[in-house]
Structure 1
Amino acid sequence: MQNQASSRSAHYRLRGSAGQWRVEGDGEAGMAYASKEAAFEAAVAAASNAIRDGYDVTITVPGAGETMLGVEDTGHRT
């Protein structure tokens, strides 16, 4: 198998807080999502298209200081 370095890259970063999570790509923020999880799913969909087009892909999701989904933790476990 031949390895070939890609000169194209796509970077997606989640930014925001509860109820206002956005996926930033190419320095521009997209639409708002209600949760961090929803914004992540949108970033993965965009990244999937970029991968298909031959791009290297990076997705950055903030961790510390935020709840896992960016919404209130009700304490319910399933």
Structure 2
Amino acid sequence: MRIAEKEQARERARKKAESSMGSFREPMTAEELRQIAAEKFEEAAALPPGPAQQKIITAATGLRHAADVKSWLASELWPPK
């Protein structure tokens, strides 16, 4: 691949990434992530068992894990050196 083709490929990838990110938002706090996860779990509880419910539960679990990781990183609790 020539240099010009590589540059064009990078530019296309950058534009695709920017368009998928949407507008800039401040990062969510751990508490906000937990709140959204709780709402998703409630939404899933209202659905009958099936693929749609499982998809929402998976998303809610990911949000809950993200909140846990964010809390852990923000804390001053680190393993001993």
Question: Which TM class, normalised by the smaller chain length?
Answer: 0.3 to 0.5
Greater fraction of residues in helix: 2
- Normalized against structure 2, the TM-score is what? 0.33
TM-score by length of structure 1 reads 0.34
Q: Which has the larger radius of gyration?
A: 2
1 or 2, which has the higher strand percentage?
1
